Structure 1
Amino acid sequence: MPRAVSGAGARDLTELVRPLERALVLGDTAQATAMVEQALDAGSDPVAVLSGLLAPIQRRIGERWQRGEWSVAQEHIATGVSVAVTECVAQRVRQWYPVTRGRTVVGCPEREWHALPALMVGTALRRQGWEVTYLGAATPAERLSSHLQKLDPVAVAVSTSLAGGLPHARRFIEAATTVGVPVIAGGAAFGPDDARARALGATAWAASPQEAFALLERLPTTVDPVEPLPAEPLAEQRALELTHHRLVERVTQRWRPDAAEVVSGPWQSTDAESDLASVLHDCVEQPLRTLQGALITGDDRLVREVADWARTVLVERRIDDGAFADLGAELAAVLDDLPLAWSLLERHWAA
């Protein structure tokens, strides 16, 4: 049976912030799920638990990694606990709330492995009575197409956290709209407004599960297939995709920042050299992936965002700021036959 939200339950959420964050820090899945189950039993709304409690804590965990306070392993352990907590909430939602509305399909496009936001959105939609088919992380557009033919959903919700997933989000949108299904786009990669979602052909953009609820009520029954993307940016995006691994290898062979101080310093990691190698690889890979998203959305902000991210990651690990400028130069050097991508990098990397 549905549970009403009580005032006591709402207060419990405030009291849970510190202990729940501590459980995620320690990787204590049993303690984290027990606390959330107690809050739900006390009357807390599942959507409030996810969006008002767990999501902000998860964001802070990502910020700790970005600042160099946590290793990759620590961040993955905490995220694993968050996934377990969300699955616990999802199980309660399925038990307590009946399906009263049509079916939606929720998932992440290919190359998008950050499935937690999509799981939260799917759980929140199920709480509102929607039947939800959750596809999870890194779903190829072909797999989505096969599900759409069988399920005939009211809408598809696509979640993308990293800008490198935007080309595959476009393929998700193409697959859905080809059969007339409207698409709601969301996630950090789509930015603070609907510009990128609209550029990729999404029917609507939602900044939160609450916005997705309202949008689902207003979506058209059917939509036309998306218009083709502009030819020249699309050609460069596809060239970057095809040559991505070769370009990453070329940059990493030439860009070797001096990180001796980091490895010997107070950075909290049991294996600092391995973690740092992963971080430096991301600093090469993410800009090249992000350029693909910038090309097909026409949103220059993506390049500035990934540049700010790379600079922060390097500086917080005590790597000299000159390494950031050197990275930009090496990235530009491998883009000499891609004039649009080269121009985006030159105009926005150091800005």
Structure 2
Amino acid sequence: MRHPTAAAELADRLWQAVAGGDEYAAVDLLRKAAVDGADEEALLLEVIAPVQRKAGDEWAAGRITVAQEHATTAINERVVATLAHRAAAPGRHPARRGRVTVGCVDGEWHAFPARLVAEVLRLRGWQVDYLGARMPTAHLVAHLHLTNPDAVLLSASVATRLPTAHAAVTACQAIGVPVLAGGRAFGTDGRHARALGADRWAADARGAAAVLEAGLARPGPAAIRQVADDLPHLADQEYTMVVQSRAMLVKQTLVDLETRFPAMRGYDDAQREHAAQDIAHIVDFLATALYVDDPEVFTAFLTWTARILEARHVPARSVALGLDILAEQLREFPRALVLLREGRTAVVDRPTRPTRPVPGPHLPV
């Protein structure tokens, strides 16, 4: 954009359109801006991306429903498609740099960030194979065999996808394709990308473009390695045992919560199901924190969950109580106990001032 204020004003107008469910107004707004000379990359990253982030923030604050947030995403995707089709006009942005594959790791539903990266790279002259959400690793590797790209860009927004991301990183490197990781699951500083052995990490689309333009060396035979080579702490088997015990942990925690948290006795079936989902997510994030040996993965999710619950008039103390119950069940797991204690402290002592939520699964309560 020619000026940051222009981008902010355009983002405000786009938000009004998508929040009102007016796809045609949203598309017309961005199409007109492009025709008037607005930079397409700036429209993607400085107008559409902030609107998408706002949708998540509004849902987290309880001001829009899950359905409204999904509708906003769907409209934004069609707006992006409109810009992409315009950019794809013959001769406008010819592929001249090389070929890359962009997609989300298996299980990752949040494909919008990867889509933005793919479109920015196309604008910069890359031939992009965009594979979308939830790409099974076996099919990803098969695609790489067929296309032999210069690099594969793997996106993950939710930290619980990190174990699957690890498998994808090692599988891609094993066939000689370098991996550029991106998305909030890998940490705001990329520490999880480094821990899982990714060749590089980028914080955003422009960062990813800069890494590719600088060049990524293809991994050699040394890239073929086992999980323990990257994460030796997994030898204690705590991660494996928690994952294998997931169903039992969720069931017992739900039973004990009903005894110790009397309000749950009045829950209807839908509320009980939501509570069970919340507990399952807590167990999943605990397992992921054990996998990467990083307490912040767990504490950040818990404080986010507490804010979401309170925005929906569910006492956050239920989270602390749930952690106590899990600690009783996992008393033979020293690393898990440390994580549960730190998580409880984070929930109880969290700041009361509004803070921006970290990405997590949609937890309707």
8 A contact 1:13–1:39 mirrored in 2: no
CA 1:15–1:64: 2 relative to 1, 3 Å:
closer
> Aligned-pair distance for 1:338?
4.1
Q: How many Å separate the matches in 1 of 2:37 and 2:263?
A: 50
Partner of 1:312: 307
> Which of 250, 253, 266 lines up with 1:251 in the alignment?
253
Q: How many Å separate the matches in 2 of 1:259 and 1:79?
A: 35
TM-score normalised by length of structure 1: 0.86
Q: What secondary structure does 2:95 align onto? A: coil
Q: What secondary structure does 2:104 align onto? A: strand
> Aligned-pair distance for 1:162?
0.5
8 A contact 1:259–1:319 mirrored in 2: no
Q: How many Å separate the matches in 1 of 2:200 and 2:232?
A: 24
Partner of 2:27: 33
> Aligned-pair distance for 1:321?
3.1
User: What residue ranges of structure 2 are gaps of 5+ in the alignment?
Assistant: 347-365
CA 1:143–1:335: 2 relative to 1, 3 Å:
farther
> Which of 138, 142, 149 lines up with 2:134 in the alignment?
138
CA 1:42–1:250: 2 relative to 1, 3 Å:
farther
8 A contact 1:303–1:349 mirrored in 2: no
Q: How many Å separate the matches in 2 of 1:121 and 1:303?
A: 27
Partner of 1:325: 320
8 A contact 2:172–2:179 mirrored in 1: yes
Partner of 1:233: 234
Task: Give the letter for the 1:90 counterpart.
Answer: A
Q: What secondary structure does 1:13 align onto? A: helix
2:36 is aligned with 1:42: yes
2:169 is aligned with 1:173: yes
> Aligned-pair distance for 1:153?
0.7
> Aligned-pair distance for 1:23?
1.4
Q: Deviations over 1:172-212 (max 9, x none)?
A: 10111111211111111112102111001111110111111
8 A contact 1:157–1:183 mirrored in 2: yes
Q: How many Å separate the matches in 2 of 1:87 and 1:334?
A: 49
2:206 is aligned with 1:205: no
How is 1:55-70 mapped onto 2 (pairs within 5 angstroms)? 55-70=49-64
CA 1:318–1:99: 2 relative to 1, 3 Å:
same
Deviates more, 1:38-47 or 1:339-348: 339-348
CA 1:27–1:254: 2 relative to 1, 3 Å:
farther
TM-score normalised by length of structure 2: 0.83
Partner of 1:126: 122
Task: Give the letter for the 2:211 counterpart.
Answer: L
Q: Deviations over 1:218-259 (max 9, x none)?
A: 343311425433355264334444443443344334435677
RMSD (CA atoms): 2.6
Q: How many Å separate the matches in 1 of 2:198 and 2:173?
A: 9
CA 1:294–1:106: 2 relative to 1, 3 Å:
same
CA 1:254–1:54: 2 relative to 1, 3 Å:
farther
CA 1:258–1:124: 2 relative to 1, 3 Å:
farther
